[in-house]
Amino acid sequence: MPEGHTIHRAARRLRSVLQDRPLERVDARGAHLVEAGASELLRGAVVTGVEARGKHLLVHVDRGVTIHSHLRMDGVWHLYRAGERWRKARRRAWLVLGSGGWDAVNFDGPILQLHRTDELDLVPSLAQLGPDVLVEPFDDAEYLRRMRLDGERELGDAIMDQRLVAGIGNIYKAESLFLARVDPWRRVNDVSDDELVRIRETATRIMHDGVLDARAITYRGPGPEGKWAYGRAGRPCRRCGGPIEARAQGEHQRTTSWCPRCQS
C-alpha cells in the first residue's frame, strides 16, 4: 500500500497543474462518482486545493464538494500532457481531471468518493485520522496522547495505526524504528515520550526525503542505495553486521524487519 510520502507527492504534483484552474475535462467512472453525477458536477469547477491527509488525497473545488481518493494496494495517480499516450489501459482509469494542457488520471482507485467539503469531518476514515507525520507543525502532544491510549500494544504494530499517527506504513515503520534504535516488540507503555518523539521525528525526516525523491530510499551508501532494515531479513545489518530478522506482527500480521542488536 502506498505510504504517506507517495500521497503527499501525488498531492504536490496534482496541485502544480490543477490549483486555481477550472476542470475542463472530467471523466468519472468510479461507481460512487457516477452515482453522485460527478462528471457533470465537477466539469467547469475551479480547484481550490489539493491536500494529503495520511494516505488519503483530497481535491477541493469551488462548488462545495471534495473528491476523496484512497489508493489502497493497487491505485495510482498519473499526470499526462493532454494527448500523451497513457502508460496504463484506459479501461483502468476511474477518474480523469483535465485542465489546460494536463490530465490527472486515477487508475484502479478502489476508493473514489465525492463529499460535501463542509462535512469532511463526518467521514469516518478521515475523522479518525491521527496527526499526519508530514504536516507541519506536527502536534506531538496529540500524537503522544493517542499512542498512550493503546499502551499494551507492540510499538511496531501501533505506529502503523492511522488512528494514532497518519502516513506511516510498513516500510517507514521498519526504517524509522531502526534509525531511532527502538525495539519494535516493546509495548508502547514501556517506551518513553522522548523515544516516541524521536521515532516520529525520524519518520518525518526520511519521509520528507521520500516526497522529494519519489522513492523510499533510506540508505545511501557505501554500496548500493536501499533500506536499512525493511526487506533485508537474513542479510547483515549495515550498522553492526548482525543478521536482520523479520516476522509477522499485530492483528494484521504485517512483517516487521529489525536488528536485534541495534534495536535492543
Q: Give the residue numbers marked as catalytic.
A: 2-3, 55, 254
Strand partners, 68: 58, 113
Asked if residue 128 lies in contact with residue 190, where contact means CB atoms within 8 angstroms, the answer is no
Q: From CA 159, how far away is CA 144, in angstroms rounded?
A: 11
Query: How far apart, in Å, are the Cα atoms of 76 and each of 3, 14, 92, 155?
Result: 12, 12, 10, 29
* DSSP state at residue 130: -
Instruction: Cite the beta strand spans of the chain per DSSP E.
Output: 25-28, 47-53, 56-61, 65-70, 76-81, 93-99, 102-107, 111-116, 245-249, 254-258
- Helix 4-18 vs helix 193-213: crossing angle, to nearest 10: 50
Nearest-CA neighbor of 51 among 108, 124, 120?
Answer: 120
Strand partners, 102: 81, 99
Q: From CA 45, how far away is CA 66, in angstroms rounded?
A: 11
Nearest-CA neighbor of 141 among 120, 176, 165, 114?
Answer: 165
Task: Please provide the distance, in angstroms rounded to a whole number, between the alpha carbons at the two ends of the chain.
Answer: 28
